[in-house]
């Protein structure tokens, strides 16, 4: 983790990015006591996910950054601006940020447009009509602007809340599990809007979530939290290829590869994609603008052989080297980290197979990939 920290700090020069250190204690008795103690450095662009289980302190961290936790000690720089240190505490309303809460938290007595105007009036900048139009367009709320929040669905309310946060023209957008209060259908409705948000506005976003599928789809960087502490932070591909973090429940563990589309095979409806270490054939998706694809390979979809099999139905076979073997929570299973060129894959194997094939660190193996999902 320490070397990652250095790496990120180098990438985020003092004028760019967000550097934060916070300490905050809650609860008097030992039973209810919770302490947040974090230090993070985040690039000044793209979506950074703050990932962890409930109660790991994700929301507290976000509230500290927003200045909503008055008792937090620490320091905070956002794109070169000092927001907090031992002597300075910029109050929330003077921090150039947008905050999307778990529940939309719209002003119920104002229409959707009234809620947007509330933000526009207070952003201390000129809001040109094109921006307003763009935000309304990206969030798809043109048709509901005259409605009161009580007349809107949960998904619509959350889209208005995101638009409202954007219209305060923040230097930093904080989103606290914006999808958590919605059902699956509504989540799927909003996710594309969040992707458009990432692509349309050049605002760094901190996105709190405990849902792996949201993070692999949206985020470029991640901060992994547990029990009030940061246990890892860095690029999403790098973090998700680590065997020791076991992000998400065991059937969600899987590596991420950033791939480039090389060729589309019309006859078999396949496409050939290349990553830093090999190539894969995947079901073709007609997506003209996306020449890069983010692929997720679940550890449970990867199997190993000692010789290349030509009589297998498996299309994607790569050669690699065993880097790390970790015991799974399930005593029958283990998690194996594989180096493929400059990239990494994870494989979930039984302990029995591990012994049968005599798999040890540094051994060269053939990697069979049963399926890979295009997440973005």
> Rule CB under 8 A: which residues touch other proteins?
66, 68, 91-94, 97-99, 101, 103, 105-109, 118-119, 122-124, 150-154, 157, 164-165, 168, 174
| Backbone CA torsion sign across 276, 281, 282, 283 | positive
Among residues 173 and 297, whose Cβ is nearest to other proteins? 173
Among residues 152 and 223, whose Cβ is nearest to other proteins? 152
Least Å from the CB of residue 48 to other proteins? 18
Least Å from the CB of residue 93 to other proteins? 5
Residue 93 has which token pair?
A: 């309303």
Among residues 102 and 323, whose Cβ is nearest to other proteins? 102
Residue 316 C-alpha from the chain's centroid: 27
Rounded to whole angstroms, how far apart are CA atoms 215 and 220?
8
Please report the DSSP string for 173-205 in residue order.
Answer: EEEE-TTTTS-HHHHHHHHHHHHHHHHH----E
Among residues 124 and 267, whose Cβ is nearest to other proteins? 124
Nearest to 158 by CA among 143, 139, 172: 139
Least Å from the CB of residue 207 to other proteins? 16
Among residues 24 and 66, whose Cβ is nearest to other proteins? 66
Q: Which residues contact 362 (CB under 8 A, 6 or more apart)?
A: 321, 322
Least Å from the CB of residue 187 to other proteins? 17
Q: Is 266 buried (19+), middle (13-18) or exposed (0-12) by CB count in 10 A?
A: exposed
Nearest to 181 by CA among 218, 209, 139: 209
Least Å from the CB of residue 161 to other proteins? 8
Least Å from the CB of residue 302 to other proteins? 43
Among residues 23 and 105, whose Cβ is nearest to other proteins? 105
Among residues 71 and 267, whose Cβ is nearest to other proteins? 71
Among residues 110 and 226, whose Cβ is nearest to other proteins? 110
Q: Which residues contact 242 (CB under 8 A, 6 or more apart)?
A: 232, 337, 344
Least Å from the CB of residue 76 to other proteins? 15
Among residues 18 and 239, whose Cβ is nearest to other proteins? 18
The answer to whether residues 286 and 203 touch, using CB atoms and an 8 Å cutoff, is no
Stated as kind and residue range, the H or E segment containing 335 is strand 333-340
The answer to whether residues 271 and 329 touch, using CB atoms and an 8 Å cutoff, is no
Q: Is 226 buried (19+), middle (13-18) or exposed (0-12) by CB count in 10 A?
A: middle
Among residues 32 and 329, whose Cβ is nearest to other proteins? 32
Residue 11 has which token pair?
A: 């990438």
Alpha helices in the chain (DSSP H): 2-11, 58-66, 112-121, 129-139, 154-167, 184-200, 212-218, 236-240, 351-356
The answer to whether residues 238 and 221 touch, using CB atoms and an 8 Å cutoff, is no
Least Å from the CB of residue 99 to other proteins? 4
Place of tokens 């050939």: 272
Least Å from the CB of residue 8 to other proteins? 26
Least Å from the CB of residue 164 to other proteins? 7
């Amino acid at each position: 983790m320490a070397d990652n920290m250095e790496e990120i700090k180098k990438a985020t020069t003092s004028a760019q990015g967000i550097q934060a250190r916070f300490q905050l204690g809650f609860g008097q008795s030992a039973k209810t006591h919770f302490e947040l103690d974090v230090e993070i450095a985040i690039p000044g662009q793209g979506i950074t996910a703050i990932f962890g289980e409930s109660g790991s302190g994700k929301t507290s961290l976000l509230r500290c950054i927003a200045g909503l936790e008055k008792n937090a000690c620490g320091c905070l720089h956002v794109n070169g601006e000092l927001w907090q240190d031992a002597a300075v505490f910029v109050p929330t309303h003077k921090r150039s940020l947008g905050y999307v809460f778990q529940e939309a938290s719209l002003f119920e007595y104002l229409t959707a447009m009234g809620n947007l105007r509330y933000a526009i009036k207070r952003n201390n900048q000129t809001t040109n009509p094109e921006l307003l139009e763009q935000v309304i367009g990206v969030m798809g709320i043109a048709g509901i602007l005259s409605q009161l929040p009580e007349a809107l669905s949960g998904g619509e309310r959350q889209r208005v809340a995101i638009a409202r946060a954007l219209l305060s023209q923040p230097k930093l957008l904080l989103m606290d599990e914006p999808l958590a209060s919605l059902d699956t259908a509504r989540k799927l409705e909003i996710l594309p809007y969040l992707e458009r948000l990432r692509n349309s506005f050049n605002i760094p976003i901190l996105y709190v979530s405990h849902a792996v599928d949201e993070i692999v789809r949206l985020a470029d960087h991640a901060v992994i939290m547990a029990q009030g502490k940061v246990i890892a932070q860095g690029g999403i591909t790098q973090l998700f290829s680590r065997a020791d973090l076991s992000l998400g429940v065991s059937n969600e563990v899987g590596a991420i590869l950033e791939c480039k589309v090389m060729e589309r095979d019309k006859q078999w409806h396949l496409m050939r994609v290349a990553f830093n270490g090999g190539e894969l054939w995947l079901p073709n998706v007609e997506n003209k603008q996306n020449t890069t694809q983010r692929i997720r390979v679940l550890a449970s979809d990867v199997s190993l052989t000692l010789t290349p099999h030509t009589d297998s139905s498996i299309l994607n076979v790569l050669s690699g080297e065993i880097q790390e073997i970790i015991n799974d929570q399930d005593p029958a299973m283990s998690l194996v980290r594989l180096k493929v060129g400059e990239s990494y894959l994870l494989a979930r194997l039984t302990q029995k197979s591990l012994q049968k094939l005599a798999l040890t660190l540094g051994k060269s193996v053939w990697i069979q990939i049963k399926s890979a999902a295009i997440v973005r």
